[in-house]
Amino acid sequence: MALIVQKYGGSSVADADSIKRVARRIIETKNAGNDVAVVVSAMGDTTDDLIDQAMSIDSNPPAREMDMLMTAGERISMSLLAMAIHAAGSHAYSFTGSQAGFMTDAQFGAAHIRAVNPDRVRRALNKGSVAIVAGFQGQSERGDATTLGRGGSDTSAVALAVALGADVCEIYTDVDGVFTADPRIVPTARRIPAIGYDEILEMSSCGSKVLALRCVEYAQRFKMPLHVRSSFSHRPGTLVLPDGVDPNSLPNVR
């Protein structure tokens, strides 16, 4: 039995139908004999909408209160996804970043993960349930809600995968992996089946938006395999692997 961490971005959980589709995919992965923990982003443009609302009230809002507000989006998507899994006949528990054991520094808006102690997540998995964690957020030593900045949910997913000792961290997006160019702009762009950490880091530093830079750095530090794939298809994506790892040894790659 493999342990898989799946991360779904905002476009993958943009509305109720999308959340139901993601729930079915999670259940398929679990029914194939895997334990599954999930990290979710806020639905669609929720984060931008929250920022706009805050700015309409205070053009210079307190950083602490902004982080408190920003954590709301992921809390919505995590609970709705848990409900969708229940409705589809399986079982899930949802957890905020702090409930999942994400401890950070106190740099509001761009916090760094200091430790992950996923005891409650492990207990949910041991019960045979899906564990759903709100990405992009954690808690400082003083108990304040913090956020990790743009792309923070990717980093949350890798950090959770490392803490749980997962076999792979799957990053679901709206494209079928990493391409030689943006396939939404360049129709002839080719999917890259497998790539190393250094190469994907260079692409990220040059402006590629497929994976957040901190996410890849974290994965490289702990040699966590990544599988970047689309939540809108079942086609193989792009594997980001440590040297010497056989792609066929990873679960759920086909």
Euclidean distance between the first and the last CA atom of the chain, given in angstroms as a whole number: 16
Lowest pLDDT segment from 20-24, 131-135, 137-141, 173-177: 173-177
The predicted-structure confidence for 49-90, as pLDDT tens digits, reads as follows 999 999 999 999 999 999 999 999 999 999 999 999 999 999
CATH number at residue 70: 3.40.1160.10
Asked whether residue 211 is domain-assigned, the answer is yes
Which of 154, 124, 117, 114 is closest to 37 using CA atoms? 124
Q: Which domain holds residue 103?
A: 3-249
d(CA 210, CA 229) in angstroms, rounded, equals 10
Q: What residue has token string 């399986």?
A: 90
Asked whether residue 254 is domain-assigned, the answer is no
Strand partners for 170 = 6, 227
> What's residue 208's pLDDT?
67
Helices (H) and strands (E) counted in the chain, each on its own, are 7, 12
Does the global pTM surpass 0.85? yes
pLDDT bin (cut points 50, 70, 90) of residue 124 is very high
d(CA 94, CA 82) in angstroms, rounded, equals 6
* Residue 25, pLDDT above cutoff 80: yes
d(CA 121, CA 123) in angstroms, rounded, equals 5
Asked whether residue 149 is domain-assigned, the answer is yes
Q: Tell me the pairing of strands 137-139 and 145-147.
A: antiparallel
Could you tell me if 227 and 194 are in contact, meaning their C-beta atoms sit under 8 angstroms apart?
Answer: no
> What's residue 150's pLDDT?
83
State both tokens at 236: 């193989």
Number of domains forming the structure of the chain: 1
Q: Tell me the pairing of strands 226-230 and 137-139.
A: unpaired
